Structure 1
Amino acid sequence: MAGAFALRLVPRLAAAPPGRGKGVGGGSTHAAGSRALVPKKPKKEHHLWIRKETAGSGKKALRLIDAVSKLPNEREAIYGALDKWSAFEPEFPIISAAKALVMLKRQRKWLRIIQVTKWLMSKGQVLTWTTYDTLLLALFMDGRVDEAESIWNTVIETHTRSVPKRLFSRMILMYDIRQRPDKILEVFADMEELGVRPDEDTARWIGSAFVAFGQEEKEKYVLEKYLKKWKYIHFNGERVRVRRDGPLA
């Protein structure tokens, strides 16, 4: 009985599943019960020429400010110091230059912002919308409105449909402070043509420009079109949302 049972098991134990465990010459490639081999993931490649300049960028920005803060307002002196500041960098220190502009803006050093930004533009570097916005603000604060207008015209002619809303708002605010409603309406005409929607403050400045020319109906049209239908007010000690044309507005 035991012999017959053993004979029935022998074929099952001896038979190997087809296509499995076959090595060279038909032998088993791994021991019974061992885990299947899992292929390793390929190592991630690291390229030395792709580098984010973050470490020490704040100190480099401070060195830039120190390099130009004590110099006379002469282009040769400023540009020479900035050239030395970036001379030994393996890559142009873009992040450091951008941080330096932010620091100069906080310090309200408008002339230095103009000088540094124009040097960057001469190098073809940091040509971002933030840079343009900072430059327009600095030119306005330094009383160089004509120069700001010249740069604005270059920007709008070169980039056209990619100019962000904040640059339009910057120019409209500048013209509103300078009491130039004609220029405000010129910028607004470009916004309408390009489909740029002004924010609420900008819409009010545009409306005031229409009022200056006695066109109150156009002011009403602009405010109805661009002011939000809802606003928040404080009522009974709470901040509540009400309709702008409602009884609580």
Structure 2
Amino acid sequence: MMCSSFAYRFPYQVASLTQKQISSDRAMGLVPIQFSIYHSPRRKAVKYAAVSAEKLTSVPPAYLSLSRNERSLTKFNTGEKNVLQKRGKKEHHLWKKRDSTGSGQKALKLVRIISGLPNEKSVVYGALDRWVAWETEFPVIAAAKALRILRKRRQWTQLIQVAKWMLGKGQGATMGTYSLLLLAFDMDHRADEAVMLWNMILHTHTRSISKWLFSRIISLYDHHNMPDKIIEVFADMEELSVTPDEDTVKRIARAFQTLGLPGKQEMVLKRYRKEWKYIHFKGERVRVKQDP
């Protein structure tokens, strides 16, 4: 038997719903206005007194029209709705942020400016000062990119000019800048300036000089046939407990040989030279024994 006044027809399992399930359905606004359930024609109908979801949970009607995400942001207070706003990402020290946007174009502009100037300090420094005049902060990122571009183009004189100008402004005093400057001094045959720069680095950053920066200065001294300077740098490395790499060990041993100290040469090779080395053979990395 079916009653025409009821809008929904439910199976027999609905009669076994718990009070907790009914309450959760009411809170979600899923309870119909009025319905009845008949188990069988021979048994009496179990009729539920139907009320609106608003009366069951005291929820405003506007809440029922919100989506699930919007409901999670809604707070109820005496029947009134207060929407909680999501907190955005907090920026710390926004005025100190160094934005890299457009740094590539700035770097290319700097390279174009410096490439068309004569090798005169006053002219070069004046152009560089005008390049940075309208910047609120020193464009360190753009200047570093310009140094890398100049290195790829092998414009060593211009690289030295920009690096010296940066260091004179108190900017870019990093191991990367020092390494590029030492390389430029090496390629531009300006070993005397490299010695002065290295002494400054050694006294300023004694405990923070990396192994590859020691290798850079030893390579420079080896290219310019300065074995005595190589021995001095090697002594500093031993004092600071810095282990040289394979190429640096060979240069140090060659410097001792040039100075007529075969005993020191053997000592260096025995202490720092590795018995095995790795080479690439047929696309694979193979370990082979070092030559005596």
Same-fold call, TM cutoff 0.5: yes
1:114-172 CA-to-partner distances (Å, cap 9, x unmatched) read 11111111111111111111111212222221111011101101111111112211111
After superposition, the Cα gap between the structure-2 partners of 1:29 and 1:244, relative to the gap in structure 1 and judged at 3 Å, is farther
Unmatched runs of 5 consecutive residues or more in structure 2: 1-18, 21-55, 74-83
Deviates more, 1:107-116 or 1:215-224: 215-224
- Asked if 1:46 is matched to 2:91, the reply is yes
- Asked if 1:112 is matched to 2:158, the reply is yes
After superposition, the Cα gap between the structure-2 partners of 1:182 and 1:29, relative to the gap in structure 1 and judged at 3 Å, is farther
Does the aligned pair in 1 maintain the 2:191–2:224 contact within 8 Å? no
Deviates more, 1:35-44 or 1:145-154: 35-44
After superposition, the Cα gap between the structure-2 partners of 1:244 and 1:29, relative to the gap in structure 1 and judged at 3 Å, is farther
Give the 5 Å matches for 1:1-249: 42-47=87-92, 48-233=94-279, 239-244=285-290
- Counterpart CA distance in 1 for 2:283 and 2:58 is 78
Shift of 1:242: 3.3
The AA in structure 1 aligned to 2:90 is: E
The structure that is helix-richer by fraction is 1
After superposition, the Cα gap between the structure-2 partners of 1:244 and 1:154, relative to the gap in structure 1 and judged at 3 Å, is same
After superposition, the Cα gap between the structure-2 partners of 1:29 and 1:53, relative to the gap in structure 1 and judged at 3 Å, is same
Query: RMSD of the TM alignment (CA)?
Result: 2.8
After superposition, the Cα gap between the structure-2 partners of 1:117 and 1:29, relative to the gap in structure 1 and judged at 3 Å, is farther
1:79-110 CA-to-partner distances (Å, cap 9, x unmatched) read 11111111112221111100101111111111
- Counterpart CA distance in 2 for 1:43 and 1:237 is 51
After superposition, the Cα gap between the structure-2 partners of 1:229 and 1:43, relative to the gap in structure 1 and judged at 3 Å, is same
Does the aligned pair in 1 maintain the 2:104–2:142 contact within 8 Å? yes
Structure 1 length normalisation: TM-score?
Answer: 0.78
The AA in structure 1 aligned to 2:117 is: L
After superposition, the Cα gap between the structure-2 partners of 1:236 and 1:136, relative to the gap in structure 1 and judged at 3 Å, is closer
